[in-house]
Amino acid sequence: MMDNEAKRIQELYPEYSDVELKPTSFGERLRQIRKEMGETQDEFATRIGTSKQVLSRYEGGQRIPKISLVESYAKALNVSVDYLMGESQQESAFDSICTQSDKPFYKIFIDVTMEMGLLIPDIVRITGLTDRQVRTIIFRRMKEAPLPIALQLSKTLDVPLEVWTGNESYKVGEISPEAKEVARAYDKASLKDKNTARLALDLEPVREEKRE
């Protein structure tokens, strides 16, 4: 049964549905670190202070340790608890510099893109995020902005990183995302294509600069 927030999201995006996710689990992260170290399960189990049998169950997703054990394993492997629980190193570092916000990322994302008049296809086209990524943010109610996505949104929508982390309020810009999209394409265009566009907009043509 949908709660009120789920109903609101479905009303905003009636043609779209939720997506299924397979997050990186604790066991998958352990296996990844072990393989990067080139160690057997026996060697790795000794390193973190457990048995091969327990490690095997962790890696197979059959067992999850208490947080005190996760902290112990993280210390033995010289990684953060967040990273061991599935976050990337960049995301863990990013989270550590973000202040806690009352407004979750997905709400900021919806508010900013709605303010810009962007529907999901527009967001995909302008930001370079996939349809799946956008729907994951919205329908899975992503609480915190992953660093790569926050950086990509900041660059393509010209919105400060602090807005996506909840540290600043969004201020409507004078230039629309579509105009910025056109400007980026114009900068990459040939002189001929630039002048074709300028002609259509009743602007003076530009001339190729002569090099002495």
Domains of the chain as residue ranges with CATH: 26-85 (1.10.260.40)
Least confident stretch, 81-90, 144-153, 202-211:
81-90
For every residue of 42-66, DSSP letters joined together read HHHHHHHTS-HHHHHHHHTTS----
Per-residue pLDDT tens for 97-133? 455 556 888 999 999 999 998 999 999 999 999 998 9
Q: Which residue has the higher pLDDT, 200 or 173?
A: 200
Least confident stretch, 1-10, 20-29, 162-171:
20-29
Neighbouring residues of 93: CB distance < 8 A, sequence distance ≥ 6:
147
Burial of 30 (0-12, 13-18, 19+ CB in 10 A): buried
pLDDT of residue 21: 45
Least confident stretch, 27-41, 150-164, 197-211:
197-211
Helix (H, G, I), strand (E, B) or coil at 194: helix
Query: With 60 as the cut, is the pLDDT of residue 1 above it?
Result: no
Among 177, 169, 69, 162, smallest CA distance to 118 is for 177
Neighbours of 21 (CB within 10 A): 8
Per-residue pLDDT tens for 73-106? 989 998 877 677 765 555 555 555 455 556 888 9
For every residue of 123-189, DSSP letters joined together read HHHHH---HHHHHHHHHTT--S--HHHHHHHHHHHT--HHHHTTSS-----SS-HHHHHHHHHHHHS
pLDDT of residue 97: 47
Query: With 80 as the cut, is the pLDDT of residue 193 above it?
Result: yes
How far apart are alpha carbons 189 and 206 in whole angstroms? 13
pLDDT of residue 19: 64
Residue 103 is classified by DSSP as S
| CB hemisphere CA count around 8 (13 angstroms) | 9
CB distance 126 to 118 below 8 Å: yes
